[in-house]
Structure 1
Amino acid sequence: MSDDPDLPPDSPPPVPPLDPIPEPDPDPRAGRAAFDRRMLEALVCPQTQGPLSYDAERQELVSRAANLAFPIRGGIPVMLADEARTLD
Structure 2
Amino acid sequence: MGINKELLEILACPKCKGDVQLNDKGDGLICPKCKLLYPIREEIPVMLIDEAIKLS
TM-score normalised over the length of structure 2: 0.88
1:86 counterpart residue number: 54
Where does residue 70 of structure 1 map in the other structure? 38
Higher normalized helix content (fraction of residues): 2
For the residue of structure 2 that corresponds to 1:44, the secondary structure is: coil
Runs (4+) of structure 1 exceeding 3 A deviation are: none
Number of aligned residue pairs: give it: 56
Residue segments in structure 1 that go unaligned for 5+ positions in a row: 1-26, 28-33
Unaligned runs of 5+ in 2: none
User: Normalization by structure 1: what TM-score?
Assistant: 0.59
Match of 1:43 among 11, 18, 24: 11
Residue 28 of structure 2 corresponds to which residue in structure 1?
60
Larger Rg: 1
Q: In angstroms, what is the RMSD of aligned CA positions?
A: 1.2
- Please state how far the C-alpha of 1:56 moved relative to its aligned partner: 4.4
Taking only the aligned residue pairs, the percentage that are identical comes to: 36
Matches of 1:80 and 1:62 in 2, distance apart?
13
Residue 40 of structure 1: CA displacement? 0.8
Question: Quick check: which one's strand share is greater?
Answer: 2
Measured in 1, the distance between the counterparts of 2:43 and 2:18 equals: 21
Residues 17-49 of structure 1, C-alpha deviations (whole Å, 9 max, x = no match) = xxxxxxxxxx3xxxxxx3212211111000000
